[in-house]
Amino acid sequence: MKSLAILKPYLKGRRWQIALALLFALASDGCKLILPFLAGRGIDSIRNGNLDIAPLLFLMGGLLLLGMAFRYFFDLLTSAIGQSLVKSLRDDVFARIGSAKVSYLDEQSHGDLLQRLVSDIENVQNGLIVGALSIFEGVVQIAITIVLMFYLNWLLGLVVVLLSPISILVSRFISSRNSAYFKKQSKTLGELTSDTLESIDNLEAVSAYGVYELKKEGFASRNEEMRGSSFKAIFAACWINPATRLVNNLIYGAVVTLGAAMLCFPSSFSFMGIAFTVGSLSSFLTYSYQYMAPFNEVADASSDLFYAKASLARVKEVLEAPLDIDEGQLPLDSVDSLSASHIDFSYDKKRKVIDDFDLEIYKGHKIALVGPTGCGKTTVINLLMRFYDPDKGDFLINNTPTTSFPKKRMREHMGMVLQDTWLAHGSIAENIALGKPNASREEIIAAAKKAHADGFINRMKEGYDTVVSNASSMSMGEKQLLCVARIMLCSPEIVLLDEATSSIDLRTEIELSSSFDELMKGKTSLVVAHRLSTIENADLILVMKQGKIIEMGDFGQLLDKKGFFYELYQAQFA
């Protein structure tokens, strides 16, 4: 039950809706369950020679229509409550993913997170909301039926009530062993979704390296595992309904036998003070059957309930994901100075990725970071942006640790272009204005021209209104140019370029260099580069190896030293 406590905040504002839904369920069941009682009275009336049962039939018809109306409003409210909860829960899960630590997201399968956001929350709605209300309706029906059965014949009612726990015990015995199967099913489905998403996102690489058959075999293996876990979960759940129906039918048979005996041998039961009629037996048999039916419905709902609880546990894990803590309170109006003070950092707390990174970064200078793959260049950028926080030391802005400023406020002074492009689904103009949504069309076009993107944009069918996304057929270079245009539009004080021109041809890169020079004029910039030709005009080049700065100087100085930078240069241009 601890896992269900997470739903309390989502149900708090909807208690009146839930109460009204329960009231409609009570009224609907009341109207439906009084009909067999009236039908039995009609049968007895006809047996006694009274054929004037028209008023009784009109009353039964009215109750039938009224019960249908109450049932409609019950289903309507149930659906509204469920969908409202799903929306709120999904909003919170998405918000939690967006505010979780980057390290947490790096450790999670993105396909599995998608599974929790979509399917698992849907399971919660179907199982815990709709299922719980269905269970309540079944309990109400059972309670009303017991009252009416005891009113008609206390002995038969006692028989039904004494035997019915057998059905409950059978249902609980089976259900209690199903939870593990449903949890395994949800976990396997998340893994299958993750593998599929990975293959689709990297389909070009899969085809280029000829590993489609290998991926296909891997998918088939995952799918077979999914089939097996789903079969076990469904098979386990399917035992509940037939098992409870068997017990209920045996109870129904016992009631029919005993009721028939009371009609055929009334003298044998006269000492109990029981007067039984054909109409009463007809009503009682209907009630005994209706009394059993909710147990079957509750059994079905309980299997959905266990599936939903397994899904809720997965959703709960995301809602409890560690937050990206931001304790910064100081205002930040401008960046006058930037430095790094003896920074150490490790992703896994075992191997240092950054070791004693110490640097004074002068305002308006262009700092380049070079070195072999894995030396920590991009990690430095991530630490400055506070995607991660150092284990020791800190970056300082205006001689104050960056942890003292709110992350959002600090990042407003920084512009970042990554090696990997990302376009949101929307128009080209909206994508360029992603960091400055209130920008005018003129500002957007001016930024695109600076980034040398205006030409190919105007060649597109709808120009700046062309709808694009990350899956668009644009080239990697064109997508990168749009990302460069974003930073041109924002014109931040600190510019961070992480292999920003890696997907752009040499001619465009040369054209962009003048725009970057204009953008960086009077601003501080950090550039991660593999092409050493792109950083010839850098004020300071940091050569990194195994997380340490091993050389520094301008382009000419580093070549003259004939050290590690010289070796990198010779490897590229020899």
Q: Give a yes or no: residue 462 inside a domain.
A: yes
Q: Which of 126, 118, 121 is nearest to 197 (CA)?
A: 118
Residues 263 and 394 in one domain: no
Residues 101 and 131 in one domain: yes
Report helix, strand or coil for 344.
strand
Residue 401 has pLDDT above 60, yes or no: yes
Residues 134 and 181 in one domain: yes
pLDDT computed for residue 573 by the predictor: 66
Q: Which of 523, 541, 544, 521 is nearest to 532 (CA)?
A: 541
- Give the pLDDT band of residue 68 (cuts 50, 70, 90): very high
**Under 8 Å between Cβ of 381 and 496:** yes
Percent of the chain at pLDDT > 70 equals 85
Residue 281 has pLDDT above 80, yes or no: no
pLDDT computed for residue 207 by the predictor: 62
* Domain finish residue from 271, 286, 319: 319
Residue 447's CATH number: 3.40.50.300
Residue 65 has pLDDT above 90, yes or no: yes
Residue 299 has pLDDT above 70, yes or no: no
Task: Locate 239 and state its tokens.
Answer: 């035992």
Give the span between the Cα atoms of 6 and 312, in whole angstroms: 9
Residue 284's CATH number: 1.20.1560.10
* Secondary structure of 14-63 as H, E, C letters: CHHHHHHHHHHHHHHHHHHHHHHHHHHHHHHHHHCCCCCCHHHHHHHHHH
Residues 116 and 252 in one domain: yes
pTM: 0.67
Residue range(s) defining the domain that contains residue 381? 338-573
Residue 344 has pLDDT above 90, yes or no: yes
Compute the half-sphere exposure of residue 518: CA atoms within 13 Å on the CB side of its CA. 12
Residue 326 has pLDDT above 80, yes or no: no
Task: Locate 123 and state its tokens.
Answer: 């399971």
Percent of the chain at pLDDT > 90 equals 7
Residues 249 and 344 in one domain: no
Residues 123 and 78 in one domain: yes
Q: Give a yes or no: residue 324 inside a domain.
A: no
Cα 472 → chain centroid: 25
Residue 54 has pLDDT above 90, yes or no: no
pLDDT computed for residue 443 by the predictor: 92
What digits encode the pLDDT tens for the residues 466-479?
888 776 677 777 88
Q: Give a yes or no: residue 351 inside a domain.
A: yes
**Under 8 Å between Cβ of 279 and 151:** no
Residues 267 and 390 in one domain: no
What digits encode the pLDDT tens for the residues 138-155?
778 888 888 888 887 778
Give the span between the Cα atoms of 553 and 532, in whole angstroms: 14
Residues 447 and 547 in one domain: yes
Residues 433 and 394 in one domain: yes
The number of distinct structural domains making up the chain is 2
Q: Which of 92, 42, 64, 532 is nearest to 316 (CA)?
A: 92
* Domain finish residue from 287, 319, 351: 319
Q: Give a yes or no: residue 329 inside a domain.
A: no
Give the span between the Cα atoms of 309 and 312, in whole angstroms: 5
Residues 207 and 251 in one domain: yes
Tell me the average pLDDT of the chain.
80
* Domain finish residue from 266, 292, 319: 319
Q: Give a yes or no: residue 330 inside a domain.
A: no
What digits encode the pLDDT tens for the residues 500-535?
666 566 666 666 666 667 667 778 888 887 777 778
Strand partners, 360: 339
Q: Give a yes or no: residue 326 inside a domain.
A: no
What digits encode the pLDDT tens for the residues 229-265?
778 777 776 776 677 777 777 877 877 787 777 777 7
Residues 299 and 359 in one domain: no
Residues 279 and 427 in one domain: no
- Give the pLDDT band of residue 442 (cuts 50, 70, 90): very high
Between residues 419 and 542, which one has the greater pLDDT? 542
Residue 546 has pLDDT above 70, yes or no: yes
Q: Give a yes or no: residue 115 inside a domain.
A: yes
Q: Which of 64, 68, 60, 61 is nearest to 39 (CA)?
A: 60
Q: Give a yes or no: residue 503 inside a domain.
A: yes
